[in-house]
Structure formats: structure tokens, C-alpha cells
Amino acid sequence: MYSNVNLAEKLVGNIFNIQHFSIGDGPGIRTTVFFKGCNLRCAWCHNPESQSAKTEWMFYKEKCTGCGRCAALTEKDTDFVCFQDARQICGKKYTADEILSEVIKDKSFYENSGGGATFSGGECLLQIEFLTEILKACKENGIHTAVDTAGHVPYETIEKILPYTDLFLYDVKCFDSEKHKQYTGVGNELILENLRRLLNTSVAVWVRIPIIPTVNDTVEEMQNIKLLLDSYGAPETVELLPYHAIGEHKYDALNKKAHTFSVPSEEKMAQLKKVFS
């Protein structure tokens, strides 16, 4: 079907969303593929359904009419359809060929906008063999590739995809490792060392910093991060992403408790962005 593509049909990955016409995950119009499973537990996570590597059911009780059709469901009943959309399956197995089929649908939009495909999560690098197959296929079809990662993996994992990745969207959450561990479950030493090594390659890197009030929303924190990045060899772009509460309802659907933070003001965001301007 596709030129010069030799895909491993039996290799499958667990994907929880494929978002077409995305404009916030790299340059141009993009298709963003969200991988299920993450090895961080960020207190502000807006995609809690991404954390477990297993397929899960989400239940939106406000939509339920009590029909009882879903009473005996298990994770294996992936074909079940709730007429009210109250019960939703999260996580579907795809082959690399199936993902490429979705990505290539929008190739004309990529070409006109300078866009491409972005692979996110969760943490897409936890499914490295599957990710590598898709990235190879995208490159063979002339599609720009971006990988969105928190970087908490062995550097050898990152090296596997360097030949097939045009851009890394790389998260930096906190300068202080103890604070990083408090709010994400892990220290930041491996993450920062991987970033240092990545910035010494020829691959483009955009650093993205989520701005979380009471956690990292100070000028001093941004100055420390900027000095660190300057010492590594500054990335192509630094993006500051304000916390939002859009995903909080998903915690209820998963029967989990959400951590809540305030949304940073426009004035605060402007103040912090000046550090990098």
C-alpha cells in the first residue's frame, strides 16, 4: 500500500487517542498519536488515562441512564458501545500499519503547513520497538516526525530513534530534583542528563515547561532552568505551558482523586516568559 514500507505486522502498541489536525504538538498541522503507559505520576497530569499501560474502562456517571448493559464488562470487551457514551474504553491495540494509515490520511495538510506526526503519551518511549517501526515508516513516506517525551528512560532508548526523529518535544518540569520527585514520583537527574546529551546531537529540540502554581511558577525557577539549558547548549525553542484543569473530570471517570492547582494568570505567564525572551 505504501512506498518502500516493510512493517512488522505482528508488532502492536497500546494507543489511547489519535488526534487529527493538532496545532499544539510541534510545527504546522499534525496528527498526534497518544501512547498508553507512563513511568511518571505528575500531580498535574491532564491525561490520567495515559498512566496505566493496561486498557481501562472510564465511567462518566453524569451521562449514565442506568440501563445496566455494562454491568458485567471486562477489559476484553473492547467492542462494547455505550449508547450514552457513559462507559468508554481507554486503550486500543494497533499495528504499526494501522497507525501509519491514520497518519498518512493527513499528508496533504502536513505538506501545506510544514506539519507532520507527533508521538506522545503517556510516555511513548516505553513502547520503543513499536514506536521505532512507526517512525521508520513515517520517514519512508516523507512525513516529519516529532517525539514528545519526559525523558525518564535510558539514553540507549533515545538513541534507537534518533535516525528517524526530526524533533523532540522535551519536558522540563522542575530544576530541583527533590521537588521533581515530590510532584512526579522520580528525580530529574536522568531526565536532565538525557537532555544534555540530546542537545549535543543534530536533532531539533523544543523544551516545554508546564507552569504549575506553587510548584515552579517563580522567576527564580525559570532563571535556574534557563542557566541550565544555556550550559547544555540552548534548545531551538522553549515553550511555557500554563496549567489547565480540562482533564480533572477524567479522574472521576477512572475512580481516582485529582490534585488541583490554580490556573496561572496571563500576567504571571508573561513575567515568566520574559526570562527566556
- With a cut of 50, list the residues of the chain below it in pLDDT: 1-8
Residue showing cell 510545527: 27
What is the rounded distance in angstroms from the CA atom of residue 168 to the CA atom of residue 148?
A: 6
The whole-number pLDDT of residue 273 equals 97
The CATH number of the domain covering residues in 12-54+92-274: 3.20.20.70
Q: 3-state SS of the chain: helix, strand, coil percent to 5?
A: 35, 20, 45
Residue pair 87/71 in contact by the 8 Å Cβ criterion: no
Closest CA to 98 of 130, 142, 120, 51: 130
Residue pair 174/188 in contact by the 8 Å Cβ criterion: yes
The whole-number pLDDT of residue 1 equals 39
Q: What is the pLDDT of residues 25-81, one digit of tens each?
A: 999 999 999 999 999 999 999 999 999 999 998 999 899 999 988 888 876 787 888
What is the rounded distance in angstroms from the CA atom of residue 171 to the CA atom of residue 151?
A: 7
Q: Where are the domains of the chain?
A: 12-54+92-274, 56-90
The whole-number pLDDT of residue 236 equals 95
Inter-CA distances, 178 with 51, 135, 188, 232, Å: 21, 34, 8, 21
The whole-number pLDDT of residue 72 equals 82
The three grid cell numbers given for residue 7, joined into one nine-digit string = 512493517
